Structures are given as structure tokens and as C-alpha cells.
Amino acid sequence: MDLRSHLEDLIPEQQERLKKLKKEHGNVQLGNITVDMVIGGMRGMTGLLWETSLLDPDEGIRFRGLSIPECQKVLPAAFPEGEPLPEGLLWLLLTGKVPTKDQVNALSKDLRTRASVPDHVYKAINALPVTAHPMTQFTTGVMALQVQSEFQKAYEKGISKAKFWEPTYEDALNLIAQVPVVAAFVYRRIYKGGQVIPADDSLDYGANFSHMLGFDSKKMQELMRLYVTIHTDHEGGNVSAHTAHLVASALSDPYLSFAAALNGLAGPLHGLANQEVLLWIKNVVEECGENITTDQLKDYVWKTLNSGKVVPGFGHGVLRKTDPRYTCQREFALKHLPEDPLFQLVSKLYEVVPPILTELGKVKNPWPNVDAHSGVLLNHFGLTEARYYTVLFGVSRSIGICSQLIWDRALGLPLERPKSVTMELLENHCKKAALTSKA
């Protein structure tokens, strides 16, 4: 039943696999780097090993080879036909294998034993103004947790590189277990007068998080299981995942690495987008009413675009079709809240926005992404505070980031240090290339 024991068996096998790959195929080219890639933020440039998930532009995300619908089908749930338990996805990400319900229950129990948060963490958060953004307070709490890092203690004492993964594993599971507690404290501090709700040890990870936030309905618990599961990982190139990998490559411990990732997640071009979507949708309702017609909605979308703004929740840096994470949330809404006015508005946006963005001609992907839907679901069940939504994203992303970080240490991945160039070098290179092509 023990997750760590499974990793102890898997790691030597994967270390040999990587060693063989590097020795036999290290010189094989993966593609050509263009000037556009260098100037454009390395977009599309293959340059990072990330084992836990892979993002295909057409298929969407696959967790260890499994699509979201497949994960919903095979991962253990709290009850038959229910949403997958996040603990099950954690097991899958770490081992590449679908766990049994008993294994998931054992992991859930292990996480509960690790979830105690020291008092100094709450004091650090309480030192901030209550008006500070929830992500600022959340990241402060994660940084305060860092003093308990097992990796830092082991490194200072002296530890073999071959065993780096072991204290990293302890930090990673401790962190995954503690972030819902910290996140719930932030929510209750800002929005509920500081009335903290203690954990319920009879509940699983997702349901317990919902409970600590103050939402005990069975449907909200199911939504939280789904939300945490689908937001865990999105391969390694996104800002939060890449930031964690970069910082951890300097042998910073999981707490420092994850806190850095959260600061990237807090940006409006990444995780903060889920906040922006609901605020924009509520603005639509305020100006046009809940019973907005399709033509009125088209006019509002054009008004947004013509003002130089984007329609939040549409488009993606990699995907070229509707985000599967959007689709599974839509299916959840159709099952549990089909009459919700904001959900019906989201459905209309699904019909209206893609054709407009296609007509605009500047968008490679006019389809909705994960952020287009999550806020409406949370709002329906009473979690209406949009400024807090990115914290939920952060709790979920801890599972994917920490899973990969354990493998970074196990595989001995090196310090990340890409080469940068100046505009002058690019200009000179392009001039030489032009002369060579003419010759």
C-alpha cells in the first residue's frame, strides 16, 4: 500500500532508462531553433524533460499517457460513477500506474498525518494586511513552511546525490498535504472573519479542502475533487511548472521551488486568468442582464475586442482545440447545474466567441480553455470570491509540480542554464544566413 516503496522499485529502472537514452541517442536532433522562438519567449521550443504529463495541441493533456476522460474512468472515486480522487492522480503521476482504491485510501491517510501546519505559518500570514491579494498570503504561508524542509536539513548534513530524492519525497508529500490547510486559512481570514474550520480526518483530500473552506455539500466536494485533479499538471513548459523546475534545478528545496512557481501562477497571463473570466462574465450580466440574447452577446464581445482587450478564457499557448479540461467541467455542469444562468451564459459564449475570434484572424486557437468554466462552477456552489480562485489552482498544481520534482531528483537532472543572445548577434547571424543562401 505504500507509495514510497513503489518509487524505490521504480527509480533504479528509470535511472537506467535515462542513462541509456543519453548514451545511445544523445546527439539526435529534436528540431531547429528559429529567431521567432528566441524572441517569442522560447514558445514551442523543445527543451525540457517532464515525465508526469504531456500536452498535445490536438488531444490536450495526458497524465502518464491517460486522457482526462480515461482518468475519470479508471482512477478510484469516492463513490461509483463519481469524480476521481486527487490522491489517485498523485499516485499515477509518481508511478505511471493506476492505483487501487486501497492504495489511494492508504495515501489519503498518509497525507492526513502530514497536514499539521506550525503556528508560525499562521503568524507570518497574519503579519500581512488582510487586504493583501490571496496569492500573496498563500505564497507567504508556503515560504513560512520552508523552515521544516527535510531536503535542506539533509543537504546541510551531507547526503549522497543518489539519495536526493528521499528527503525531496518527504518535503513534497508534506507540502501537498499542508497547502490546502494554508489555503483554507487564507480564505477564512480574508472572507469569513478569520473563523477557521479544522480538518475532518474522515474526508479525502478534495472533500476535506472543500470542508475547510466552509462548503460541505456533496456536489461541492465532487467539484473540488474534479477541480484539483484536472489542474494538477499541464506538462513542464507553462510558467508555474517551468519556474519550479528551474528553481529546483539549483537544488532549492520543494518549498522554495513551489513558492516561486506560485509567483508565476499569480500572473494574469497564467493562473490569474480564472479570476479574470468570472469578473468579465459578471460584467456582461451587469451591463446586459442574465437573459442576454446571442446578438447582444456578440456586440459585447466585439466591444471588448475593439477596446484593445481580450476575451478571457479563450485561446491557449499550445492547444489548438477546445481544452479537455473545459469539456469535463461543462459535462459536470450539465449533470449538476444545467439551469444555472451563468452556466447558460458560458454555453452561449462557447457558440459566439470562437467564430468571432476566427473572423478576427489573429488567434491561432479560438476555443475555450480551462479558465473559461471553473469560476462559474465555483460561483454556483457559493465560492463567489473570484480573487481567491488562483489559490485553488495553486493547491492543485502542487501535486503535479511536486511529483515531477521527486523525479528530477531521482534522475539527477542538472542545473538548467539555457544560452541567451543579443539582438546584434541575431541580426549578424541572419545576415550571414542570407549571404550563404544567395551563394
Per-residue pLDDT of the chain (439 residues; tens, 9 = 90+): 799 999 999 999 999 999 999 999 999 998 899 999 999 999 889 999 999 999 988 888 999 999 999 999 999 999 999 999 999 999 999 999 999 999 999 999 999 999 999 999 999 999 999 999 999 999 999 999 999 999 999 999 999 999 999 999 999 999 999 999 999 999 999 999 999 999 999 999 999 999 999 999 999 999 999 999 999 999 999 999 999 999 999 999 999 999 999 999 999 888 888 788 888 888 888 888 878 888 999 999 999 889 988 888 888 777 778 889 999 999 999 999 999 999 999 999 999 999 998 888 777 788 888 888 899 999 999 999 999 999 999 999 999 999 999 999 999 999 999 999 999 999 999 999 899 878 7
Q: Is 65 left (phi over 0), alpha (psi -120 to 50) or beta?
A: left
C-beta of residue 193 within 8 angstroms of C-beta of residue 175: no
Helical ranges in 26-116 per DSSP H: 35-39, 68-74, 86-95, 101-113
Instruction: Please calculate the CA angle 230-234-240 and round it to the nearest 5 degrees.
Output: 110
pLDDT score of 279: 87
Q: Are 386 and 275 in contact (CB under 8 A)?
A: yes
Radius of gyration of the chain (CA): 23
Does residue 368 sit in helix, strand or coil?
Answer: strand
Give 216-269 pLDDT, tens digit per residue.
999 999 999 999 999 999 999 999 999 999 999 999 999 999 999 999 999 988
Strand order in the sheet with 66-67: 53-56, 60-63, 66-67
Confidence at residue 15, expressed as pLDDT on a 0 to 100 scale: 96
Residue 63 has phi, psi (to 5 degrees) of: -90, 110
pLDDT tens-digit map of 405-419: 999 999 999 999 999
**Predicted TM-score (pTM) of this structure:** 0.94
Residues in the chain, how many? 439
Given this model, what pLDDT does residue 269 score? 84
3-state secondary structure of 54: strand
Which of these, 188, 221, 186, 185, lies nearest to 206 by C-alpha position?
221
H/E segment holding residue 53: strand 53-56
Residue pair 53/62 in contact (Cβ under 8 Å)? The answer is: yes
What pLDDT is recorded for position 422? 95
φ and ψ at residue 239, rounded to 5 degrees: -60, -50
Q: Which of 204, 233, 253, 371 is catalytic?
A: 371
The answer to whether 371 is a known catalytic residue is: yes
Angle at 316 between CA 342 and CA 417, to 5 degrees: 140
| Measured distance CA(411)–CA(7) in Å, rounded | 12
Annotation says 270 is catalytic: yes
Q: Report the distance separating Cα 305 and Cα 369, nearest Å.
A: 18
For residue 436, what is its C-alpha cell? Answer: 550563404
The DSSP 8-state label assigned to residue 188 in this structure reads H
Q: For residue 317, what pLDDT is reported?
A: 75
- Catalytic residue among 270, 323, 380, 408, which? 270
